[in-house]
């Protein structure tokens, strides 16, 4: 251990941009280095800080020789080190190693990782490439073609759902990406039926449905249950399609107090098919652990929207797998296989890496009609066309899209009062659990931020105050009838997880007057005394991140009047596509335009590992 001293605390201050965790980690790393150098401290602080911003590594070239983003007269360091000096210092520090070695920091060229995130990225890339390079399952193309026509009888000019189904039969790993209403879950339900129909002994096929959150798992379950009765399949096939989805943590088998799961690389999942919905929400670490638990004999199908926000934690695994922002053709061999079972295909062939044969992007939305503003607005935002987006919002033709310019707190209070009286007033009088949950999914306020006058915390407080002034609730208790709640922790015994939403309603009991009702993935309703719940918050409004995996009939998106780097194209797109029937956006025009032009860019080496041509 070196003679590291407290003088290095002077390198950073309150204005440095480094959190206290970044600083503590950096001081620990510098203290165990062979020599006490500011280069080790700064590298460790930067790489830890990058994780909180979603990056899995930092590139030292982005910082080398540049001034530190703060000025302190006492600081012994004014600039980041020159690149060659920095690399040399790190290599001789005793805390940094090359890929494949075991050190706190891993240096790949000029990219610096924390060891565990380098390992997650490497492990995930290796797992994906291994699965896609396994021998393809044997398929009778004549039987497949006949069954495809049976399950997809009216393809018209859109054969992408049929293409997705055929791809899932030919592949071990398939990604079905698409925007709202493109039929991802309908397609995958037909895929399950198709695979069962293709089996010689279909009753032996073990199938699991999963999603990152309880809410997303419940929605997947509902979608499958609603689709199965309309499938042109036998009663035997219908009965074998699972109706209940699990959270990924439950699927993998959480070990209390441990970051590991019961199912892993040494104890594989006991399934022949695993379907995972809302895959864009899965962070790098969880994605790596999921892939490591998939046996070679199992098919894995991901569903998601590659244009949505990436996971809250580090990485952009789903976007990297899909090569977000780019479109690809199939390889010549995959093209021939698909063309042999699909008439009038829309796809093409070209020189592509193997991963391209696994990705299907559904094109047509069946939810939004040609006169729907939501679909057009989402498309304009996805393209980054702020002028078109503003024009759509200003056009009175699109009644399902409304834009209100919010300039100050007075305007916010006025508009919000009108909304809560319409949408949240009914909450206080509901006692039927099914009606309660239905009303909860009818309307939701979404915010980009947690803090600030237009953040979740302020909007929740303001909404409660306005409801009280309108006489709909009391302020005598923090628990009251009509209170929407969102779980912020995990409780495996109660089967309640981070992101699950429920409603406090009257309960016909002499002992307990109020209970929280939640809809479970199996479509049942469960009641909990509020004091038994895991940590939770009031949820009149949610952050856009927390809303992922949910849909509401009506969405109110509050962005405010101040530009922020957290307001970006992916956030807007995600928020708008939570709405089934209508969306309102409250913000100033400069804020809206700036957000549409801002793109999320996360540093990750996964994309190039997967999409690199051999």
| pLDDT beyond 70 at 481 | yes
The residue-averaged pLDDT of 108-127 equals 95
| pLDDT beyond 70 at 599 | yes
The string over 220-256, giving b where at least 16 C-beta atoms fall within 10 Å of a residue's C-beta and e elsewhere, is bbbbbbebbeebebeeebeebbbebbbbbbbbbebee
Q: What is the dihedral of CA 277, 283, 286, 288, to 10 degrees?
A: 100
| pLDDT beyond 90 at 289 | yes
Confidence category of residue 116, pLDDT binned at 50, 70, 90: very high
Q: How many CB atoms lie within 10 A of CB 44?
A: 27
The residue-averaged pLDDT of 1-16 equals 49
| pLDDT beyond 60 at 9 | no
Confidence category of residue 314, pLDDT binned at 50, 70, 90: confident
- Residues whose CB is less than 8 angstroms from the CB of residue 534 and which lie 6 or more positions away in sequence, other chains included: 487, 488, 489, 490, 491, 494, 496
Q: Give the model's pLDDT for residue 72.
A: 53
Task: Report the C-alpha gap between 83 and 199 in whole angstroms.
Answer: 58
DSSP-H helix ranges across 232-277? 235-240, 248-252
Write out 94-153 in H/E/C secondary structure.
CCEECCCCCCCEEEECCEEEEHHHHHHHHHHHHHHHHHHCCCCCCCCHHHHHHHHHHHCC
Note the Cα 20 to chain centre separation in Å.
Answer: 27
**Nearest to 41, CA basis, from 66, 9, 71, 13:** 9
Q: Give the model's pLDDT for residue 287.
A: 95
Q: How many CB atoms lie within 10 A of CB 188?
A: 29
Task: Classify the C-alpha dihedral 500-501-504-507 as positive or negative.
Answer: negative
Q: Give the model's pLDDT for residue 203.
A: 60
User: How many angstroms separate the first and last alpha carbons of the chain?
Assistant: 44
CA atoms lying within 13 Å on the CB side of residue 422: 11
Q: What is the pLDDT of residues 168-221, one digit of tens each?
A: 999 999 999 998 888 899 999 999 999 999 887 656 889 999 999 888 888 899
What six digits make up the tokens of 124?
Answer: 């995930």
Helical (H) or strand (E) element with 162: helix 160-170
Confidence category of residue 254, pLDDT binned at 50, 70, 90: confident
Task: Report the C-alpha gap between 338 and 396 in whole angstroms.
Answer: 44
Residue 500 vs residues 314, 489, 549, 550: alpha-carbon distances, Å: 22, 9, 10, 10
Q: With contact defined as beta carbons under 8 Å apart, do 163 and 342 qualify?
A: yes
Task: Report the C-alpha gap between 103 and 518 in whole angstroms.
Answer: 45
Task: Report the C-alpha gap between 482 and 520 in whole angstroms.
Answer: 19
Q: Give the model's pLDDT for residue 75.
A: 60
Q: Give the model's pLDDT for residue 60.
A: 95
The residue-averaged pLDDT of 30-44 equals 84
Task: Report the C-alpha gap between 361 and 315 in whole angstroms.
Answer: 21
Higher pLDDT, 51 or 16: 51
Q: Give the model's pLDDT for residue 131.
A: 95
Confidence category of residue 506, pLDDT binned at 50, 70, 90: confident
Q: Give the model's pLDDT for residue 4.
A: 47
How high is the mean pLDDT of the chain? 87
**Nearest to 47, CA basis, from 544, 39, 571, 427:** 39
The residue-averaged pLDDT of 12-26 equals 72
Q: With contact defined as beta carbons under 8 Å apart, do 304 and 291 qualify?
A: no
The DSSP bridge partners found for residue 444 are 555
The residue-averaged pLDDT of 27-40 equals 83
Task: Classify the C-alpha dihedral 287-567-50-487 as positive or negative.
Answer: negative
The residue-averaged pLDDT of 284-308 equals 94
Task: Report the C-alpha gap between 391 and 372 in whole angstroms.
Answer: 14
Confidence category of residue 510, pLDDT binned at 50, 70, 90: low
Q: What percent of the chain has pLDDT over 70?
A: 93
Nearest-5° Cα angle at 349, 360 to 171: 45
Higher pLDDT, 412 or 187: 187
Task: Report the C-alpha gap between 471 and 155 in whole angstroms.
Answer: 53
Helix axes 184-198, 160-170, angle to 10 degrees: 40
Q: How many CB atoms lie within 10 A of CB 109?
A: 10
Task: Report the C-alpha gap between 244 and 264 in whole angstroms.
Answer: 22
Task: Report the C-alpha gap between 380 and 17 in whole angstroms.
Answer: 34
Q: What percent of the chain has pLDDT over 90?
A: 46
**Nearest to 427, CA basis, from 437, 412, 417, 414:** 437
What six digits make up the tokens of 178?
Answer: 């698409």
Q: Give the model's pLDDT for residue 17.
A: 66
Helical (H) or strand (E) element with 572: helix 569-576
Note the Cα 231 to chain centre separation in Å.
Answer: 29
The radius of gyration of the chain from alpha carbons, rounded to an integer in Å, stands at: 26
Q: Give the model's pLDDT for residue 509.
A: 65
Phi and psi torsions of 517, nearest 5°: -110, 135
Q: How many CB atoms lie within 10 A of CB 495?
A: 16
């Amino acid at each position: 251990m070196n003679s590291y001293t407290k003088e290095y605390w002077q390198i950073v201050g309150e204005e440095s941009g480094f959190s206290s965790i970044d600083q503590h980690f950096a001081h620990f790393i510098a203290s165990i280095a062979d020599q006490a150098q500011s280069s080790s401290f700064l590298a460790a602080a930067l790489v830890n800080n990058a994780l909180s911003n979603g990056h899995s590594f930092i590139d030292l070239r982005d910082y080398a020789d540049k001034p530190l983003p703060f000025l302190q007269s006492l600081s012994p360091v004014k600039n980041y080190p020159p690149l060659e000096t920095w690399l040399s210092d790190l290599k001789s520090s005793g805390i940094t190693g090359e890929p494949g070695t075991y050190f706190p920091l891993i240096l790949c060229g000029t990219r610096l990782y924390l060891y565990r995130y380098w390992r997650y990225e490497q492990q995930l890339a290796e797992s994906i490439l291994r699965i896609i390079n396994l021998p393809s399952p044997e398929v009778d193309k004549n039987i497949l073609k006949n069954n495809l026509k049976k399950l997809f009888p009216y393809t018209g000019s859109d054969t992408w759902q049929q293409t997705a189904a055929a791809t899932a039969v030919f592949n071990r790993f398939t990604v079905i990406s698409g925007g709202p209403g493109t039929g991802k879950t309908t397609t995958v339900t037909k895929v399950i039926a198709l695979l069962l129909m293709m089996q010689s002994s279909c009753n032996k096929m073990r199938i699991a449905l999963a999603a990152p959150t309880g809410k997303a798992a419940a929605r997947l379950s509902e979608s499958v249950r609603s689709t199965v009765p309309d499938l042109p399949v036998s009663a035997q096939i219908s009965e074998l399609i699972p109706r209940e989805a699990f959270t990924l943590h439950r699927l993998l088998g959480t070990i209390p107090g441990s970051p590991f799961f019961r199912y892993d690389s040494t104890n594989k999942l006991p399934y022949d098919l695993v379907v995972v919905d809302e895959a864009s929400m899965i962070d790098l670490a969880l994605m790596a652990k999921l892939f490591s638990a998939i046996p070679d004999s199992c098919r894995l199908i991901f569903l998601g929207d590659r244009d949505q926000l990436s996971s809250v934690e580090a990485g952009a695994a789903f976007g990297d797998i899909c090569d977000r922002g780019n479109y690809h053709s199939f390889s010549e061999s995959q093209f021939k296989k698909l063309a042999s079972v699909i008439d009038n295909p829309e796809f093409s062939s070209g020189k592509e890496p193997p991963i391209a044969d696994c990705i299907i992007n559904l094109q047509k939305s069946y939810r939004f009609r040609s006169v729907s503003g939501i679909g057009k607005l989402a498309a304009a935002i996805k393209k980054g066309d702020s002028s078109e987006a503003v024009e759509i919002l200003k056009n009175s033709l699109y009644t399902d899209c409304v834009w209100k310019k919010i300039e100050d707190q007075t305007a916010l209070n006025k508009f919000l009062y009108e909304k809560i009286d319409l949408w949240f007033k009914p909450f206080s009088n509901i006692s039927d659990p099914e009606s309660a949950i239905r009303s909860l999914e009818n309307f939701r306020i979404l915010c980009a931020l947690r803090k600030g006058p237009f953040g979740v915390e302020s909007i929740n407080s303001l909404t409660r105050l306005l409801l009280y002034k309108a006489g709909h609730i009391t302020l005598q208790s923090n628990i009251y009838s009509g209170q929407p709640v969102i779980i912020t922790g995990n409780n495996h015994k109660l089967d309640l997880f981070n992101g699950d939403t429920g409603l406090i309603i009257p309960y016909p009991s002499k002992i307990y007057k109020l209970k929280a009702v939640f809809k479970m993935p199996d479509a049942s309703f469960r009641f909990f005394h509020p004091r038994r719940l895991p940590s939770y918050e009031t949820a009149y409004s949610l952050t856009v991140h927390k809303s992922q995996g949910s849909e509401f009939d009506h969405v109110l998106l509050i962005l405010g009047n101040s530009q922020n780097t957290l307001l970006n194209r992916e956030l807007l797109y995600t928020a708008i596509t939570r709405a089934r029937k209508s969306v309102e956006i409250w913000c100033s025009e400069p804020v809206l335009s700036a957000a549409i032009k801002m793109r999320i860019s996360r540093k990750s080496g996964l994309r190039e590992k997967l999409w690199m041509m051999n």
